[in-house]
Amino acid sequence: MPTITEFPITDYQTLPDQELFDRIVDAKAILGRKVLLLGHNYQRDDVIIHADFRGDSLLLAKYAAEHPEFPHVVFCGVHFMAETADILSRSNQTVILPDMAAGCSMADMASMEQVDDCWERLARVLPVEETVTPIVYVNSAAALKAFCGEHGGVTCTSSNAKAIMNWAWDRREKILFFPDEHLGRNTANAMGFPPEDMIVWDPFQPNGGHTRETIHKARLILWKGHCSVHQMFQPAHVAYFRKQYPNVQVIVHPECHEDVVNQADLVGSTEFIIRTVTQADPGTIWAVGTELNLVNRLKHDQADKQVFFLSPMVCRCSTMFRIDGPHLCWAMENLVQGHVVNHIQVPDEEKMFAKLALDRMMDLS
């Protein structure tokens, strides 16, 4: 089998799909118990078909940590997910991301410099360490998780955000929630939290765009960030499906805009969406507001139901879509040769504080 220098990734990109499939299967067979291949729910079909285990980002990271007998973890997802796997996995495990360009636009909407600046500006207005609990969505860089761990904060997922917010408000008066304002707002709305007590922090504006008075009054400070995929869904799409299919059930992810969430029948994480549609009665009709690959897979797997993608527009996550057959084959075949490509390593101090924030969440979930 060729070495890295003899057979670069560019050569893999010219191979036919069937050959890529066969070579990935062969590499997995050779590696056996030396590798665990994880696939996020949003992955394309030609990648996730090879996964040993599928799920959302945190579930996959926890699964890797629970199986230390696999020394190598090939994570088919995006960069922050592979970082979380490295944070939670054992010291003997190596995490590999097949394509380093696989990222998340929402995660990139809060940089470490911006969050540090926000914390410093809040400190000029109020005793921030005593009054504000930072909560970071797990869809975020390891450095932001570490920031929360260091400042008494915590991570959250789309399924446990309510419990995490309740914990945070029991401890301190205010919450700084980042990087997705919509998950924060939708969670707070479902809890009956008053909208007038929420503000949105714009990192490109002085003091986030707020006066000292509005900062003092706010109990929930939402970061101005969003998932571009979930923001494509509109109330008009919900109205269209309700008109076309009177018995339709609309189920959406809480990263959607509140105008869509408020019109949906059900709201929940990717795991919740999969479980709900899978367990539904035959003949039921579903309009699903989340990433296209997941919806198409549900449509295929749940042939006894009618499953529709909520938007008329193609709505793939372009960065998540970067993990493809050529990159997976390249990573796997190099691993067969003993070459670890795209090794994801979170610095030790950062890992320590990030794990603290993750552990706090898992203790509450």
Averaged pLDDT, groups of 10, the chain, 365 residues long: 59 93 98 96 92 90 93 94 94 95 86 97 97 96 97 96 97 97 98 97 97 97 94 96 97 97 97 97 97 93 96 62 91 94 96 97 88
What is the separation, in whole angstroms, between the first and last Cα of the chain?
46
Among 40, 43, 5, 89, residue whose Cα is nearest residue 343: 89
Task: Count the residues in the chain.
Answer: 365
Which residues is 133 bridged to in the sheet?
A: 175
What per-residue confidence (pLDDT) applies to 1? 45
Among 194, 190, 163, 161, residue whose Cα is nearest residue 178: 161
Return the structure tokens found at 339.
């070459």
- HSE toward the beta carbon, residue 218, CA cutoff 13 A: 25
Which residue is it, tokens 């309740």? 166
| Residue 38 · residue 64 · CB < 8 Å | yes
Cβ atoms within 10 A of the Cβ of 107, count? Answer: 25
Q: What is the largest CA-CA distance in the chain?
A: 66
DSSP-assigned states of every residue in 248-312:
-EEEE-TTS-HHHHTT-SEE--HHHHHHHHHHSPTT-EEEEES-HHHHHHHHHH-TTSEEEESSS
Q: Rounded to whole angstroms, what are the CA distances from 114 to 17, 78, 97, 122, 334?
A: 42, 22, 26, 12, 38
What per-residue confidence (pLDDT) applies to 215? 98
Which residue is it, tokens 């198409």? 296
Return the structure tokens found at 330.
């390249």
Phi, psi of 61 (to 5 degrees): -65, -40
Which residues is 252 bridged to in the sheet?
A: 267, 289
Exposure string (b/e) for 155-183, b if CB count within 10 Å is 16 or more? bbbbbbbeebbebbbeebebbbbbbbbbb
Instruction: Please report how the helices 161-171 and 181-190 are oriented relative to each other, as an axis angle in degrees rounded to 10.
Output: 80
What per-residue confidence (pLDDT) applies to 199? 98
Q: Rounded to whole angstroms, what are the CA distances from 335 to 44, 52, 66, 102, 313?
A: 22, 17, 22, 19, 38
What per-residue confidence (pLDDT) applies to 318? 53
User: What sign for the dihedral angle of Cα 163, 168, 170, 175?
Assistant: negative
Amino acid 218 reads A
Cβ atoms within 10 A of the Cβ of 78, count? Answer: 26
pTM of the model: 0.92
